[in-house]
Structure formats: C-alpha cells, structure tokens
C-alpha cells in the first residue's frame, strides 16, 4: 500500500474513533467538551506514532517493534490457518504454578501472546502497518483513561480541568502508554475494571458490570499477574468502606495488614504460592539483564528482613530517581521534571487543603487509588533496576497517586471542561 493511502486510511480511522468517543461521551452526560476529548485522543495517537518512530530510527529497537514483527506472522496464520492461529502459543508446562517465571510457563508468556494476537487482528484492518495499528491500540488505552476520568471527576467536579490534564497529559503516561506494549492494554483493562467496580459499589451490581469487572481483572492477570493481584485488597477495602458504617481507613488498614501477613506466610501454604520467593526470583531475572543504565539494587531474599532492608532502595528508585546528576537522555530529563511536578502537586495540595487534607483524602475512592499506587510503585522499586523500565511501568500508578491530591487543589473560579 502506498504511503499516501496509509495516511488517508489512518486519518479515516482517527476520525471514526473520534466520532465514536464523541457519541459515548454524550451518553455519559458530556463531562468533557468534544474539542478536548478529540484533541486528547489525537495527541495520544501522535505520541504513539512518535514512540514507534523514535524506536525504529533513533533508539534501539524496542519490544514494540518485535511484537509487531511477530504479529505479521500470526496475521498470516489467522487468514490462512485460523486453527493454528488460535492454538499457537498455548503451553501447559507449569500451568499449575500461577506465578512461575519459567520461559515455557503459560502464565509468564500469556501477556506477550495476547498482545501479539491482538496486533495480528489489527493487521487485517491496517494492511500490516505499524502506525495504523497504533491508532487501534490507542483507542483502547484512551478509553481506559476516559473511564478513570469519568470516576475521578465525579468526586471533584470543580477540578475537572486539572484532572483531565493529569490523566491524559501527564508526560510519562502520555508517551509510554501510547506505544504498542502491554502497559497500554493494562491501562485499558484497569480503567474499565475501576469503572465497573465503582458502578457496582455506588449504584448496584448488575450482571453486565460484574462481567466487565471480571473480564478486566482476568486480562490484567494474563498481561501482568502482579498488577491484577494488587487490585484485589484495594477493591475489597473500597467496597467495605462504602457499604459499612466504619471509618474509611479501617478496612484498608485491616485488609492490608492481613495482606502483608499472608504475603510472607504464603510459602508455608504451598511452594507454588511462595510469594516472597517468586518476587525475589522476578527481581533476579531483571538483574540478569543488560542495559545502558542500571540502578544499584540489592538482590532480594524471601525473608522479612531482606524486604525491610531493601524498602528504602525500592522507594528511592520509584519516587526520587533519576537525580539531576543522572540525567543522560531526554527520557531521563522527562522523568526528573515529572518528579518535580509530583512534589509540586503534593505541596500545593497540602497548602490548599490545610488541616482538611487528611480528612479529605480519607475517602474510600481516594484511599483505593493511593493504595493501588503505593503497592504498584513499591513492587516496581523492589524488582526493576532500569530507569527506563521504571518510568514506563510506573506511569499509570503515578496518575492514580496524584488524582486524590489534584482533587484537593482549588482551581481559580472552579473551571469546568465544557
């Protein structure tokens, strides 16, 4: 297909998705003006295209292009041998070990296989063009962010503009989650899961919403099981805090206390469920990889003492690195500026809310987001020693962490996006 035809096809797809999002936005009561909604989607697509171009022509080839190349082979199978397409990649070795890190374990490869199969289906409609696939891919991740925004703005309607800017334009989330990778799909399924759970909690459980929530959780588990697992205690505490007349923080305190206890005692239940060992094993796999920049990270051991000793390192890596002296690339600079932005938001939120900061943060939904963010960020800090990977993995968690604090800010005039 000629380049001009690809461009025309891409513009048609962007227009089609924009009209679809506009229609769905109106069904939600138009919480976002059409111009903002379409602009955010268009910018997300452009970020995805820039991501693909940079890793094809400037930086080393990323997993994104490797997945795409494999998807072309799978697309041929889909069109010529559908039975082979749906059976390829299915392995049952170590299937009973949900947290196996073995190369032939189905759970450790499920995320990559799912992404490649999805890209293969996209190829049917894109003519096998990476950049048109970016449009399809970002339609999914964009909708996940939109679902998150729908819920966030219900809790702070006067801060819609700030929340919209945070959720859709935070640099790390905009760039890294727009490239074709598992993280974008995790954003999509996390967004629809949170939307479904919020509806079930605040309105009523329906078969449709429960099904959406279960499907979202299952796909997150397939893509990256730890991302799914950290959602469970947060959802349970959120549900109890809303449904029962208790102080909101109590369910979170009790459930997470039991969760930490279960984590360290899990090895006594079954070797396949030895979570401290499994997480340490995952960290050792990362430490064995090669990269241009590697942060110092002490190897984990499956003991309370080891996890406690490495906690400061883990927190430092995800909240404070890179330091200004470690900036070696535009990506490092972006990460450093974002850390300053996070600190600025926290300071402004404290000044704006004053003595009401803690009571206002102690709302079930905000506690839910903060606990998800802290759990996810610390898991990344414990396991990943590479600054580039840390920034990509933590992007959605930074959004979740900042939503409650952005909601505390007092915008001049209480502006809305309409």
Overall average pLDDT of the 243-258 stretch: 94
**Helices 130-155/387-408 angle, 10° precision:** 30
Put residue 270 in one of left, alpha, beta given phi > 0 → left and psi -120 to 50 → alpha.
beta
pLDDT, residue 374, reads: 96
Confidence band for 316, pLDDT divided at 50, 70 and 90:
very high
What is the pLDDT at residue 83?
86
Q: Is the peptide bond before 405 cis (omega within 30 degrees of 0)?
A: no
pLDDT value at residue 103: 58
Query: Per-residue pLDDT averaged across 268-276, rounded?
Result: 83
Q: Which of the four pLDDT bands, split at 50, 70 and 90, describes residue 150?
A: very high
Highest mean pLDDT among 100-114, 242-256, 316-330: 242-256
Contact present, 186 and 399 (Cβ < 8 Å)? no
Per-domain residue ranges of the chain: 3-61+129-408
The confidence score (pLDDT) of residue 418 equals: 40
pLDDT at 177: 93
Exposed / middle / buried, residue 289 (Cβ in 10 Å: 0-12, 13-18, 19+)? exposed
Give the separation between CA 181 and CA 65, rounded to whole angstroms: 9
The SS3 of residue 246 is coil
How far is CA 126 from each of CA 112, 132, 133, rounded to the nearest angstrom? 20, 6, 6
pLDDT of residue 98: 62
Q: How far is CA 154 from each of CA 190, 199, 213, rounded to the nearest angstrom?
A: 18, 12, 19
Copy the structure tokens of residue 119: 């890209």
Average the pLDDT over 213-225 and give the result. 94
Strand blocks (E) in 251-334: none
Q: What are phi and psi of 232, to 5 degrees?
A: -60, -55
- Quote the mean pLDDT of the chain: 91
With 0-12 / 13-18 / 19 or more C-beta atoms within 10 angstroms meaning exposed / middle / buried, residue 121 is middle
Residues 28-67 have pLDDT tens digits of: 999 999 999 999 999 999 999 999 999 998 887 688 999 9
Q: CA 108, CA 95: separation in Å to the nearest integer?
A: 10
- Give the CA distances from residue 120 to residues 75, 150, 221, 230, 386, in Å, rounded to whole numbers and listed in that order: 4, 31, 21, 30, 30
- Is pLDDT of 349 > 50? yes
Least confident stretch, 76-85, 89-98, 178-187, 340-349: 89-98
What is the C-alpha end-to-end distance of the chain, expressed in Å?
Answer: 40
What is the mean pLDDT of the segment spanning 351-355? 90
Q: What is the structure's pLDDT at 176?
A: 93
Residue with tokens 């401290």: 276
What pLDDT does residue 245 have? 86
* Model pLDDT for residues 70-107, shown as the tens digit of each residue: 999 999 999 999 988 887 766 656 555 666 666 556 66
Q: Map residue 205 onto helix, strand or coil.
A: coil
Asked if pLDDT for residue 287 goes beyond 70, the answer is: yes
CA-CA distance, 147 to 189, in Å (whole number)? Answer: 10
The span from the CA of 23 to the CA of 384, in Å, is: 41
Count of CB atoms situated within 10 Å of the CB of 379: 22
Q: Residues near 64 by Cβ (< 8 Å), separated by ≥ 6?
A: 51, 52, 55, 179, 180, 181
| Pair 304, 280: CB distance under 8 Å | no
**How many angstroms separate the CA atoms of 218 and 213, rounded?**
9
Average pLDDT over residues 133-147: 97
Span 182-193, average pLDDT: 96
SS3 341: helix
The predicted structure's pLDDT at residue 412 = 56
Contact indicator for 74, 120 with CB cutoff of 8 Å: yes
pLDDT per residue over 379-392, tens digit each?
999 999 998 889 98
CA distance 74 to 25: 34
Among the listed ranges 67-76, 157-166, 282-291, which one has the minimum average pLDDT value?
282-291
- Of 185, 182, 208, 179, residue with least CA distance to 195: 208
């Amino acid at each position: 297909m000629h380049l001009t035809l690809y461009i025309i096809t891409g513009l048609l797809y962007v227009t089609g998705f924009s009209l679809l999002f506009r229609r769905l936005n109106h069904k939600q009561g138009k919480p976002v003006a059409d111009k903002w909604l379409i602009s955010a989607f268009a910018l997300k697509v452009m970020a995805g295209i820039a991501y693909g171009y940079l890793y094809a022509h400037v930086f080393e080839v990323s997993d994104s292009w490797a997945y795409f190349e494999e998807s072309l082979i799978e697309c041929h199978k889909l069109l010529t041998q559908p039975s082979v397409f749906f059976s390829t990649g299915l392995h049952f070795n170590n299937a009973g070990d949900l947290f196996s890190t073995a190369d032939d374990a189905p759970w450790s490869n499920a995320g990559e296989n799912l992404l490649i199969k999805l890209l293969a289906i996209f190829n049917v409609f894109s003519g096998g063009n990476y950049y048109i696939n970016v449009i399809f891919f970002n339609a999914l991740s964009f909708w996940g962010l939109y679902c998150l925004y729908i819920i966030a703005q219900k809790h702070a309607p006067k801060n819609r503009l700030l929340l919209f800017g945070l959720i859709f334009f935070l640099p790390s989330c905009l760039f890294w989650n727009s490239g074709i990778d598992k993280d974008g799909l995790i954003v999509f399924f996390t967004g629809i899961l949170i939307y479904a759970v919020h509806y079930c909690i605040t309105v009523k459980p329906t078969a449709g919403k429960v099904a959406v929530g279960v499907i979202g959780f299952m796909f997150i588990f397939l893509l990256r099981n730890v991302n799914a697992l950290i959602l469970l205690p947060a959802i349970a505490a959120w549900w109890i805090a809303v449904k029962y007349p208790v102080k909101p923080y109590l369910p979170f305190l009790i459930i997470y206390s039991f969760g930490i206890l279960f984590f360290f005692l899990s090895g006594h239940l079954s070797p396949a469920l030895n979570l401290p060992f499994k997480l340490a094993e995952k960290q050792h796999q990362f430490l064995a990889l090669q990269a241009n920049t590697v942060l110092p990270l002490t190897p984990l051991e499956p003991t309370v003492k080891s996890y406690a000793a490495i906690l400061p390192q883990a927190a430092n890596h995800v909240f404070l690195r890179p330091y200004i002296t470690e900036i070696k690339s535009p990506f490092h600079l972006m990460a450093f500026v974002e850390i300053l932005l996070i600190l600025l938001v926290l300071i402004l939120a404290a000044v704006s809310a004053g003595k009401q900061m803690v009571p206002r943060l102690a709302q079930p939904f905000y506690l839910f987001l903060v606990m998800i963010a802290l759990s996810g960020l610390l898991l990344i800090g414990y396991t990943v020693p590479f600054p580039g990977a840390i920034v990509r993995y933590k992007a959605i968690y930074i959004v979740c962490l900042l939503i409650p604090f952005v909601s505390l800010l007092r915008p001049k005039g209480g502006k809305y996006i309409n």
